[in-house]
Amino acid sequence: MAEDKLLEVINLQKHFDVGRNKTVKAVDGVSFDILRGETFGLVGESGSGKSTTGRTIIRLYDATGGEVKFNGEDVHGKKSKKELLKFNRKMQMIFQDPSSSLNPRMTVLDIIAEGLDVHKLVKNEKERKERVEELLEVVGLNREHATRFPHEFSGGQRQRIGIARALAVEPEFIIADEPISALDVSIQAQVVNLLKRLQKDRGLTYLFIAHDLSMVKYISDRIGVMYLGNLVELADSEELYNNPIHPYTKSLLSAIPLPDPEYERNRKRITYDPTVHDSSEVPEFREVSPRHWVRCTTKEFEQYKKEAAQK
């Protein structure tokens, strides 16, 4: 239903000029919706355009073309400082590398309180300190950590500080841009479980960007797969894993290792060959089966529909 859509991405494009009349089409006509309260996973290999999509949605990059609508309002059409401030409070971002996204010269108190200061959400220093200390406890850290500096923490703890900073302004929507890729495997699940708990407690909506498909499946309701600036497949999480359709998605799934020696000995890695597609027709995003979309040509669409009907 339209009223359930928190975010609408419509034919989004982000192109970069790289000199000598060359243009990199990092995001080239991507469209998807994110429903209120869900986690939408965006996956793909490095260079697929997934992080650029997230950064363009939140206006860290200006869009080359297309639209982004948040609560029905055009994100990139906003002009006044007041409107931008209101938008920035509703949408926050958690970055990939907590080491580089936290100012090493600032205490944890000042890092987390930045949003509180900008949006004037506290009346005095006492309230400011209390809010930060509460947020530290919410993300699993101690109140005493407020006086320390980023270098005194582990990678997992720094990412918790980044999450607390994003939560400080009480956003509706959070873009998590590969938030666990820089962390040890033993810490990744802890951070993902924290994000899931916060979503439940605070009614948050997430865009979760990652290349680790197994973790994306664990946290996401729906998943979109990106390849070279395009969305090539989109489906409910379980459906995408159990019935992948696009050859690129099959390639990504075949690369996931499992803790099963017998399976690993016999696992066949599928290599994606982009030349298998009919180059005489520009592929379009089509619904092959209910809620399962694939970027394909007319001929591929008929083939995929036939295969889906046989399952």
Query: pLDDT (tens digit, 9 = 90+) per residue, 146-198?
Result: 999 999 999 999 999 999 999 999 999 999 999 988 788 888 989 999 999 99
Using the CB atoms, write b or e for 129-155: b if 16+ within 10 Å. Answer: bebbbebbebbbbeeebbebebeebeb
Residue 113 lies in a domain: no
- Hunting for tokens 């930060």 — which residue is that? 132
CA dist., res. 167 & res. 90, Å (int): 10
Instruction: Using pLDDT thresholds of 50, 70 and 90, give the confidence band for residue 3.
Output: low
Task: Specify whether the CB–CB gap between 220 and 39 falls below 8 A.
Answer: yes
Averaged pLDDT of the chain: 91
Using the CB atoms, write b or e for 107-118: b if 16+ within 10 Å. Answer: bbbebbbebbee
Residue 225 lies in a domain: yes
Task: Specify whether the CB–CB gap between 220 and 40 falls below 8 A.
Answer: yes
Does 178 share its domain with 303?
Answer: no
For the chain, how far is it from start to end, CA to CA, in angstroms?
A: 28
Does 179 share its domain with 303?
Answer: no
Does 234 share its domain with 253?
Answer: no
Q: Which domain holds residue 194?
A: 2-102+171-243
CA dist., res. 112 & res. 308, Å (int): 48
- Give percent of the chain above pLDDT 90: 71
Pairing of the two strands 65-70 and 73-74: antiparallel
Residue 50 lies in a domain: yes
**At a CB cut-off of 8 Å and minimum separation 6, what does 155 contact?**
98, 99, 182, 183, 184, 187
State the average pLDDT over residues 265-283: 84
Q: In this structure, which amino acid lies at residue 89? A: R
Does 180 share its domain with 253?
Answer: no
Query: pLDDT (tens digit, 9 = 90+) per residue, 132-147?
Result: 999 999 999 999 999 9
Does 235 share its domain with 298?
Answer: no
Does 232 share its domain with 261?
Answer: no
Does 212 share its domain with 286?
Answer: no
Give the pLDDT of residue 1. Answer: 42
Give the pLDDT of residue 124. Answer: 95
Residue 18 lies in a domain: yes
Final residue before a domain boundary, out of 223, 243, 263: 243
Does 15 share its domain with 43?
Answer: yes
Residue 117 lies in a domain: no
Final residue before a domain boundary, out of 217, 243, 269: 243
Does 237 share its domain with 250?
Answer: no
CATH of the domain at 221: 3.40.50.300
Does 176 share its domain with 310?
Answer: no
Cα separation values, 148 from 135, 155, 161, 177, 259, Å: 15, 15, 11, 25, 39
Does 86 share its domain with 16?
Answer: yes
Final residue before a domain boundary, out of 197, 228, 243: 243
**At a CB cut-off of 8 Å and minimum separation 6, what does 209 contact?**
41, 42, 43, 50, 51, 53, 54, 175, 176, 177, 178
Residue 300 lies in a domain: yes
Structure tokens, 247: 């050859």
Residue 237 lies in a domain: yes
Residue 26 lies in a domain: yes
Does 226 share its domain with 203?
Answer: yes
Task: Specify whether the CB–CB gap between 161 and 147 falls below 8 A.
Answer: no
Indicate the number of domains in the chain: 2
- Hunting for tokens 């990092």 — which residue is that? 26
